[in-house]
């Protein structure tokens, strides 16, 4: 059979960086003549790009593999492929425990995917792993996001080596793309009508350190802000030690760079941060947040924390709760510590039991719920430029995002309008109601 006779379905799990890898693989497959389908029942090839970061993510990947494998019995599926962090991290285990899978790939297998599909359809059971790469053909991506926004991966890997994290062991050390390559991709996206660019990496604040001998995130932001057609640039995964005066000045100095930043602090207790091998102290975290708040009252701060890290005492946990109350993040994700294989933290003494971790997680979320309610209510009466994302015909309401909402993680603004709105359109919305996690507004133009 010809390539054009085959239909490929794809599922991307985990982070937005994984999504970009999936889009790159889909681009290569379409370029080679394969067809894509969103319906797994119609696919004779299914590609799953897995996540293996923490226990919950690994379980989701396993469940998805088993669910898709059933289409060999109930659908048209002939070839099941898995790639990504779970596959790359647990090579022997997945190969021996998933006989339903035909092709096993590691991380970023962009250049190999067509050959692997070709050979897999000929009946070979294949395994191929290599180090993560960054030299892909980014302008051949097939976007899986709505056309008006796209993720742009500016670097691969990480040099931080946090003791709880396996990412550097899975994806290697920091490997930055050149400024020219990223600018070219964003210009291509702008020409296609993309309005919002979301910059992602394991640590965006270190972008360029390996190539240029110094971080170049500010230089990159300056250059991207000048590209015609790009109305919003958003910065994610910026570590607190990278929140410099120069970075803050760069963000607030451009109308099309969102006054929004994701700074994963993980904890505020100095001893815990040291054992995590973080490069911050409680003091430097407080200073980073103050620097951002002083720069603009409208800055939206998102962060994450980990509860139940080995040896975390009640006193240290109470210090974390105080930090959350003091720092008052607009958005906060909280995670139970996950004892990851082949990480230093997994071998530390005084591991915390699951019941304690769950209780502490609930305490963090309860604390943040009150803060989110107060921060959201401060937005009542303010007017925001909002990008329309969706429409509920039955309820006659629209959904959209301002600079304060990142796709997939921050929720949507509920919008009432007397006129018909189009997906991808920007409108002015006045906030009229807000609670813990829902904000409602009305179009005023």
- Average pLDDT, stretch 208-235? 96
Q: Are 75 and 171 part of one and the same domain?
A: no
Q: Are 144 and 78 part of one and the same domain?
A: no
Query: Is the per-residue pLDDT at 53 higher than 80?
Result: no
Q: Are 366 and 427 part of one and the same domain?
A: no
In a domain, 44, yes or no: yes
Any idea which of 81-85, 167-171, 379-383 has the lowest mean pLDDT?
167-171
Structure tokens at 222: 């300056």
Any idea which of 125-129, 206-210, 436-440 has the lowest mean pLDDT?
125-129
pLDDT-based confidence at residue 430 (cuts at 50, 70, 90): very high
pLDDT-based confidence at residue 349 (cuts at 50, 70, 90): very high
Q: In Å, how far are 15, 22, 169, 346, 419 from 163, measured between CA atoms? A: 20, 28, 11, 8, 53
Helices (H), 75-128: 85-89, 91-97, 113-121
Domain of 305, in residue numbers: 138-377
Residue with tokens 């006193």: 315
pLDDT-based confidence at residue 199 (cuts at 50, 70, 90): very high
Q: What is the pLDDT of residue 100?
A: 92
Exposure of 429 in the CB half-sphere (CA atoms within 13 A): 33
Q: Nearest 5 degrees, angle CA 203-CA 288-CA 211?
A: 30
Q: What is the pLDDT of residue 90?
A: 84
Q: What is the pLDDT of residue 164?
A: 95
Comparing C-alpha atoms, which of 202, 205, 197, 193 is closest to residue 172?
202
Structure tokens at 19: 């999504």
Query: Is the per-residue pLDDT at 204 higher than 90?
Result: yes
Q: Are 154 and 110 part of one and the same domain?
A: no
Comparing C-alpha atoms, which of 443, 410, 426, 406 is closest to residue 200?
406
Q: Are 234 and 339 part of one and the same domain?
A: yes
In a domain, 419, yes or no: yes
**Residue 87 belongs to a domain with what CATH number?**
3.40.50.12160
In a domain, 41, yes or no: yes
Does residue 53 or residue 293 have the better pLDDT? 293
Contact 179, 220 (CB under 8 A): yes
Q: How far apart are the first and last CA of the chain?
A: 55
- Average pLDDT, stretch 374-392? 95
Q: Find the helix or strand (DSSP H, E) in which 67 lies.
A: helix 55-69
In a domain, 431, yes or no: yes
The fraction of the chain above a pLDDT of 90, given in percent, is: 84
Q: What is the pLDDT of residue 129?
A: 81
Q: Are 10 and 122 part of one and the same domain?
A: yes
Q: What is the pLDDT of residue 48?
A: 95
Model confidence pLDDT, tens digit, residues 105-148? 988 888 889 999 999 999 988 888 887 888 888 999 999 999 99
Count the domains in the chain: 3
Q: What is the pLDDT of residue 109?
A: 81
Q: What is the pLDDT of residue 56?
A: 84
Query: Is the per-residue pLDDT at 426 higher than 90?
Result: yes
The fraction of the chain above a pLDDT of 70, given in percent, is: 100
In a domain, 307, yes or no: yes
Q: Are 98 and 200 part of one and the same domain?
A: no
Contact 337, 352 (CB under 8 A): yes
Q: Are 155 and 268 part of one and the same domain?
A: yes
**CA-based torsion, 25, 26, 30, 33: positive or negative:** positive
Domain boundary among 106, 128, 150: 128
Contact 158, 200 (CB under 8 A): no
Classify burial at 385, counting beta carbons within 10 Å of its beta carbon; exposed 0-12, middle 13-18, buried 19 or more.
middle
**Residue 322 belongs to a domain with what CATH number?**
3.80.30.20
In a domain, 278, yes or no: yes
- Average pLDDT, stretch 406-424? 93
Q: What is the pLDDT of residue 275?
A: 98
pLDDT-based confidence at residue 180 (cuts at 50, 70, 90): very high
> Rounded CA gap, 196 and 406, in Å?
10
3-state secondary structure of 289: helix
**Residue 430 belongs to a domain with what CATH number?**
2.40.50.140
Contact 47, 66 (CB under 8 A): no
Structure tokens at 79: 């070839």
In a domain, 347, yes or no: yes
Instruction: Fill in the DSSP letter of residue 380.
Output: T
Contact 403, 354 (CB under 8 A): no
Domain boundary among 128, 159, 186: 128
Model confidence pLDDT, tens digit, residues 80-91? 999 998 888 887
Q: What is the pLDDT of residue 163?
A: 96
Tell me the pLDDT of the chain averaged across its residues.
94
Beta sheet of 257-262, edge-to-edge order: 149-153, 196-200, 232-235, 257-262, 300-307, 331-336
Q: Find the helix or strand (DSSP H, E) in which 126 lies.
A: strand 126-128
Instruction: Fill in the DSSP letter of residue 394.
Output: T
In a domain, 133, yes or no: no
Q: What is the pLDDT of residue 210?
A: 95
Q: Are 373 and 409 part of one and the same domain?
A: no
Q: Are 399 and 346 part of one and the same domain?
A: no
> Rounded CA gap, 235 and 406, in Å?
10
Domain boundary among 355, 377, 399: 377
Q: Are 124 and 97 part of one and the same domain?
A: yes
- Average pLDDT, stretch 96-102? 90
Beta strands 397-401; 413-416: pairing state? antiparallel
- Average pLDDT, stretch 270-288? 96
Q: What is the pLDDT of residue 228?
A: 96
Q: What is the pLDDT of residue 239?
A: 93
Contact 33, 4 (CB under 8 A): yes
Q: Are 124 and 142 part of one and the same domain?
A: no
Give the burial string for 98-131 (b: 16+ CB within 10 Å, else e): beebbbbbbbbbbebbbebbebbbeeeeeeeeee
């Amino acid at each position: 059979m010809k390539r054009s006779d085959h239909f490929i379905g794809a599922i991307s799990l985990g982070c937005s960086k994984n999504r970009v890898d999936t889009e790159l693989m889909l681009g290569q497959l379409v370029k080679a003549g394969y067809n894509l389908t969103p319906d797994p029942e119609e696919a004779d090839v299914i590609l799953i790009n897995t996540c293996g970061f923490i226990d919950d993510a690994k379980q989701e990947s396993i469940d998805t593999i088993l669910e898709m494998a059933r289409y060999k019995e109930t659908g048209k599926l002939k070839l099941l492929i898995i790639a990504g962090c779970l596959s790359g991290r647990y090579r022997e285990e997945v190969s021996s425990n998933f006989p339903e899978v035909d092709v096993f790939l590691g991380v970023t297998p962009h250049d190999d995917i067509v050959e692997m599909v070709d050979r897999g359809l000929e009946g070979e059971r294949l395994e191929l792993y290599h180090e993560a790469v960054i030299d892909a053909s980014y302008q051949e991506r097939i976007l899986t996001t709505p056309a008006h926004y796209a993720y742009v991966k500016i670097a691969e890997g990480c040099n931080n080596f946090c003791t709880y994290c396996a990412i550097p062991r899975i994806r290697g050390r920091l490997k930055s793309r050149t400024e020219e390559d990223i600018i070219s991709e964003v210009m291509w996206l702008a020409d296609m009508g993309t309005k919002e660019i979301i910059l992602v990496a394991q640590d965006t604040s270190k972008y360029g350190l390996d190539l240029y001998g110094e971080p170049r995130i500010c230089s990159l932001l300056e250059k991207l802000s000048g590209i015609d057609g790009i109305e919003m640039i958003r910065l994610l995964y910026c570590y607190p030690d990278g929140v410099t005066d120069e970075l803050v000045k760069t963000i607030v100095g451009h109308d099309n760079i969102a006054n929004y930043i994701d700074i994963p602090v993980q904890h505020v207790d100095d001893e815990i941060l040291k054992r995590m091998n973080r490069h911050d102290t409680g003091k430097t975290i407080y200073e980073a947040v103050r620097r951002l708040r002083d720069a603009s009252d409208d800055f939206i701060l998102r962060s994450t924390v980990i509860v139940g890290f080995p040896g975390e005492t009640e006193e240290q946990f109470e210090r974390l709760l105080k930090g959350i109350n003091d720092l008052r993040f607009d958005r906060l994700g909280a995670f139970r510590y996950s004892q990851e294989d082949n990480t230093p933290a997994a071998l530390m003494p005084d591991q915390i039991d699951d019941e304690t971790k769950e209780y502490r997680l609930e305490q963090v979320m309860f604390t943040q719920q009150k803060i989110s309610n107060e921060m959201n209510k401060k937005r009542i009466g303010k007017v925001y430029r909002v990008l329309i994302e969706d429409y509920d015909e039955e309820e006659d309401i629209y959904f959209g995002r301002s600079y304060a909402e990142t796709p997939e993680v921050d929720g949507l603004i509920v919008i009432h309008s007397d006129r018909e709105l189009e997906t991808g359109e920007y409108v002015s919305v006045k906030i009229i109601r807000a609670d813990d996690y829902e904000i409602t507004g009305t179009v005023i133009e």
